[in-house]
Structure 1
Amino acid sequence: MTLHRVALPTGALELTIDASDFPLEALMGFAARDNAKRGFLFLSKVLGKHWPVKPSLMTTIHETLAAAVPAMPGPLVFIAMAETAIGLGQGVFEAWLRAHPGQDALFLHTSRYRVGDAPIIEFQEAHSHAPRQFLHLPAGDAERALLMHARALVLVDDEASTGNTFQNLADACRTLNPGIERVHLATITNFMGADATAALSERFGLPVTLGASASGRYSFAPGQFTPSGGEAQRFDPDADRGANAGFGRYGLQRALETPEALASLLAAQIGPRENVLVLGTGEFMHASYLLGAALERHGADVVVQSTTRSPILTWGAVSATLSFPDNYGEGIANFLYNVRRGQYDHVFICHETAPNAALFQLAGELDARLFHFLTETHIEEVSEIPVR
């Protein structure tokens, strides 16, 4: 057991680690949120969101969490939490599929965007800067049947601190499908504490298990910090934000295809001592990990991370901050952390939305190339970036 006391600009954090599969400093750092609801962040160094991560390390985390999923009655439905844990959840699902070939399972991820005409169910992530979350009901008959006849849920997020969001999502799914019998929570860190973790089954009203790479408990005493108050969500049910249904919002029963042709093309253009950043955008994360992993197999020195809507102070585990408009057209600020212009020899930005001014601005800031993923393997490079 180890105790960490951290004085943040937003307050005082105390964290006790009871168990960890990895050295804590390799797993996470401490950061301060620009958020009145929660002033601290356990910033993951293995997630591929706010910190650059080797794809092979991300794979290790995916496989570790997938291996902790207990034997449960099927079909299983894996649901990843937007936006931070979408890539993590999809990676855990695909690692589980590799270990359990032929078993029925469905992957979905929540979203903060409405896509197409599929019905949605809404639940709350109360502590988030953008609290409204949506789960699309699969449009395909087979995927819809899996969701409606699932007997177990695997809910994936980067961390568990209260369990409230997990419970809200589980309750929404059980209203839709009362036949759900078991829930497993998969997280990189679980800081609810041993007593709260042991009480999950009673709280949820059915058997609940939890697998995490690190566990412990925390307390936070807010300070006098005044958040900037920037808006992080402007949901319009009639707006088409350019989000793609084909990467997990409508459900997948299989792993995404790796963009091998693009990886081979790009690998041939990378010098032996050059470094590479593959950058996902917002909720579009897993495709960038797959491209990064393919480049790593080609021998490239590559890391993966993503842009985000989460406002975090430049302090602690955040050494650099870049702000730019969001490419989904909500008109809110988006951010990229721990990346500076000129830090990488190559930056490849992966996006699901059509090319737009926000993407051109981000690409110009990083001297990056834009790759528009229309499908897993139909990828178009945006060759014309306006000169600013």
Structure 2
Amino acid sequence: MIGKVPLIRFSEPHSHAESHLLYAPAPNAWKYRLEDIASLVLVDDEITTGKTFANLAEHLVPLLPRLKQIEICVLTDWTDGGGALEAMPFSTTSHSLLKGTFEWHWERGEAADPAGNRGNLGRLQRPPNFGREGTPGLEFDLDHLCAVYESHLGSPLHLIGTGELHYPTFLLGEALEARGHDVLVQATTRSPARLGGAISAIQQLRDNYETEVPNYLYNADQTKERLRIVCHETGPNSLDPSLIRKGDFPAVDFGALL
């Protein structure tokens, strides 16, 4: 469990999510001290420029006087295994399942978010803890939730997690699949992408966390035959109306289940 006071706060001008907060563990939940840490492991899905890790490490290293090494762990490293390390403020080793490179070729065209809206941190009326604050487990009744959909066994399902509510959505999808349902799990995102290639359709949405940053759902045209279950934590009337299609299941408010 994390503490109540932010440990560091930094911004990333290159990112679609510019403001970052990191909290120290709550003293009663973590027996170690920051002053005792010797190894720092930073985990993400991919490295593109390495700026996220460099910015994070730059703010963390001064708080870790006994630090001896930093380990970066990612699925894909687009700096070909070396570019991310050059800007790190401390001795760092990078680990990835895949390595590669890419090149940017500028092309005139309309971006998914032409306004470049930076928005704000957003808010929750009742902030539940679904992992963002650290948790030993989630305490809602998946069996009870799954029972709602048992009469539709045989109908393919499409679960959509909104914003940060990915993990509970995946757990529900996993539980439904274990009961014999054909399940596809997807999440809305603030990351803009252009139409083309693997992106066959773009649906722009109002952000249910009130950040004023556009959200997107991609390739919904490929899931029209599936019954949709939208999962959120932000309370009634927070969702973009276009997410709720006629004939689908009502949205699941996980925030109301805790």
The TM-score normalised by the length of structure 2 is 0.83
Partner of 1:154: 41
Aligned to 1:265: 147
- Tell me the equivalent position of 1:121: 8
8 Å CA contact retained: 1:340, 1:366: no
Corresponding residue to 1:234 among 119, 122, 125: 119
Q: Does 1:224 align with 2:108?
A: yes
What secondary structure is seen at the aligned counterpart in 1 of 2:103? strand
1:218 is paired with a residue of what secondary structure?
coil
Structure 2: any 5+ residue segments left out of the alignment?
Answer: none
Aligned pairs for 1:100-179 within 5 A = 118-119=5-6, 121-138=8-25, 140-143=26-29, 146=32, 148=34, 149-179=36-66
Q: How far is the alpha carbon of 1:129 from its aligned partner? A: 2.5
Maintained 8 Å contact 2:126/2:255: no
1:209 paired with 2:90, answer no
Contact 1:276 1:300 in 2 (8 A): yes
8 Å Cα contact 2:163-2:189 kept in structure 1: yes
Report the equivalent of 2:208.
327
Change (3 A) 1:182 1:325: same
| CA apart distance, 1:150 | 4.0
Identity over the aligned pairs, expressed in percent? Answer: 30
Rounded Cα–Cα distance in structure 2 between residues aligned with 1:263 and 1:241: 23
Matched to 2:14, the amino acid is: H
Higher relative contact order (CA 8 A, sep 6+): 1
Matched, 1:302 2:179: no
Aligned Cα root-mean-square deviation (Å): 3.1
Kindly provide the amino acid, as one letter, of the partner of residue 223 in structure 1.
E
Alignment correspondent of 2:129: 246
Q: Output one character per residue of 1:222-261: Cα deviation in whole Å (capped at 9) or x when no partner.
A: 223354532443226xx63447351233233x34457532
Question: By percentage of residues, which structure has more strand?
Answer: 1
Higher helix share: 1
Distance 1:318 1:344 in 2: 18
Shift of 1:307: 0.7
Kindly indicate whether residue 198 of structure 2 is the aligned counterpart of residue 314 of structure 1.
Answer: no
What is the Cα deviation at residue 207 of structure 1?
A: 3.7
Structure 1 gaps, min length 5: 1-105, 109-115, 380-388
Q: What is aligned with 2:73?
A: 186
Q: Is the 8 A contact 2:58 2:88 kept in 1?
A: no
- Read off the aligned partner of 2:224 and give its amino acid letter: Q
1:305, CA displacement in angstroms?
1.0
Q: 2:163 pairs with 263, 282, 293, which one? A: 282
Which structure 2 residues correspond to residues 377-388 of structure 1 after superposition, within 5 A?
378=257
Q: How many residues align?
A: 256
Residues 146 and 172 of structure 2 are in contact (CA less than 8 Å); yes or no, is this contact kept in structure 1?
no
Specify the SS of the correspondent of 2:221.
Answer: coil
